[in-house]
Amino acid sequence: MFSKILIANRGEIALRVVRAAREMGVATVAVHSTADADAMHVRMADESVCIGPASGAQSYLNVAAIVSACEITGAEAIHPGYGFLSENAAFVQVLEDHDITFIGPTAEHIRVMGDKITAKETMRKLGVPCVPGSEGGVPDLQTAELMAAEIGFPVIVKATAGGGGRGMKLARSAADLENAFRTARSEAKAAFGNDEVYIEKYLGTPRHIEVQVFGDGRGRAVHLGERDCSLQRRHQKVLEEAPGPAITPEQRAEIGRTCAEAVARINYAGAGTIEFLYEDGNFYFIEMNTRLQVEHPVTEAVYGVDLVREQINVAAGLPMSFIQEDLRLNGHAIEVRINAEKLPNFSPSPGRITQYHAPGGLGVRMDSALYDGYRIPPYYDSLIGKLIVHGRDRDEALARLRRSLGEIIVDGVDTTIPLFAELVEDPDIRAGNYTIHWLEDWLARNLA
Ligand code: ADP
């Protein structure tokens, strides 16, 4: 086991990693920007190193400073959290060259899954169901027209290098295709410096279902069921739950086995998430995230495992602590993402927290780096906390969500807590009856 690890992140996820490491007897090094000198992750870690000025590009993305921090402190491994450098293959390559262990998959796996066409091709070959579409980049409009006619309208034109929902254009009919093709290409060029696009069948009313997988890097892998993350605003997840209300035990076992076998065959190491659109009983692969997800705690709640501990173990060369048969789904969990944002426009609301009180009690987990008097800096993501509730069934989880939303106090800034207080009363949410468009429609009706 490592004696010391460095956490190349901030906020609640840095704290999350400190907590797992401390339980394992592993010392931690926090890194921080000048704007985060007073942050909770810095206070909670055993040591800390300032790695640059406020801007993320000069601090949490500053590879040279992070590698130096490792060398100065003698940290043997780096946990990247999510975001920042967590899916940066070049960073992982640099660590390999410096004999620092990356707590995550290999640079090669990150590279393969980071390119959407290669990812899809790899998954298709591994037997994972994909959205019907072009089997590679589409070079020109004429090919696009042929492909679209074959797939059938509506189709979606997507950037190979895409991310964050950019470079994606819908064509409802042949008349829309030329425009969709040209705009997707120019957006992709502007956003990613690569104008390659591909075409997929457009699914009208899907749910977003993602399967948690975990591999030991030596050909063994398990799945930990699915999460339904359909409630999204601008392609950003807002509320996640496990298990998915629309997924049957048989479907879970089947898609789970398919995903676990796929990652076992490529010797995948650590935590990964295989994302699908789900419609009419069918799963369609869209992408794989080669890291820990924001919403991992709902899976931890229902399977009773510590995914970060498991990541650290596997990175240290130890076997996974469970096999598939050990993993039993227990009850239901829901997570809501609390952002410092002002409704109805979700504009960022940084500032000083005058009072903070976390909810508690049976089945309630609050992952947050807030404290009384903390000043939320304006430079980073607006996520300030994740409230995760667990119950014996979905109704109990909803009752705990309602109860704990009533207990939270976050004063001094605007937050998305009032949104969740309304959502938890909505008949569709209570029935688990929603698709990826539900929240945008609801917001247009209720907050406009
Ligand atoms: P990104 O990496 O940019 O987030 P994804 O491929 O993960 O792109 O897709 C993001 C979102 O776009 C999905 O969650 C879904 O809402 C929508 N989307 C992507 N592909 C399709 C499709 N074939 N049909 C319908 N919606 C899609």
The 10s digit of each residue's pLDDT in 136-192 is 899 999 999 999 999 999 999 999 888 777 789 999 999 999 999 999 999 999 988
Among 8, 6, 9, 10, residue whose Cα is nearest residue 376: 10
Domain ranges of the chain: 4-103, 132-201, 207-446
pLDDT at 163: 77
Nearest CA residue ID for atom 2, ligand 1: 163
For the chain, the average pLDDT equals 96
pLDDT at 216: 98
- Is 185 marked active-site? no
Distance, C-alpha 91 to centroid of its chain: 19
End-to-end CA distance of the chain: 53
pLDDT in tens, 16-27: 999 999 999 999
Residues touching ligand 1 (Cβ under 6 Å) are: 131, 156, 162-165, 168, 200-203, 208, 235, 277, 286-287, 436
Q: Select from 160, 168, 198 the residue to mutate for testing ligand 1; criterion: most ligand atoms less than 8 Å from CB.
A: 168
**What tokens were used for 184?**
């997707």
Domain range 4-103, CATH class: alpha beta
Counting from 1 in the atom list of ligand 1, the atom nearest the Cα of 200 is 23
Nearest CA residue ID for atom 23, ligand 1: 202
Superfamily, domain 132-201: ATP-grasp fold, A domain (3.30.1490.20)
> Domain 207-446 belongs to what architecture?
2-Layer Sandwich (3.30)
3-state class percentages of the chain: helix first, strand second, coil last, to nearest 5: 35, 25, 35
pLDDT at 165: 74
What sections of 82-173 are H helices per DSSP?
A: 89-97, 107-114, 116-125, 141-151
Q: Which residues of the chain have pLDDT under 70?
A: none
Among 237, 302, 245, 249, residue whose Cα is nearest residue 278: 245
Counting from 1 in the atom list of ligand 1, the atom nearest the Cα of 166 is 3
Are 33 and 59 in contact by the 8 Å Cβ rule? The answer is yes
Neighbours of 362 (CB within 10 A): 9
Strands of 27-33's sheet, edge to edge?
47-52, 27-33, 4-7, 77-79, 101-102
Contacts for 294 with CB less than 8 Å, ≥ 6 apart: 13, 82, 237, 337, 383, 386
Catalytic residue among 10, 16, 291, 309: 291
Counting from 1 in the atom list of ligand 1, the atom nearest the Cα of 436 is 16
**Angle value at C-alpha 325, between 323 and 327, nearest 5 degrees:** 80
Contacts for 28 with CB less than 8 Å, ≥ 6 apart: 4, 5, 6, 7, 17, 18, 21, 22, 45, 46, 47
CA dist., res. 71 & res. 182, Å (int): 47
pLDDT at 136: 87
CA dist., res. 345 & res. 234, Å (int): 12
CA dist., res. 65 & res. 85, Å (int): 13
pLDDT at 302: 98
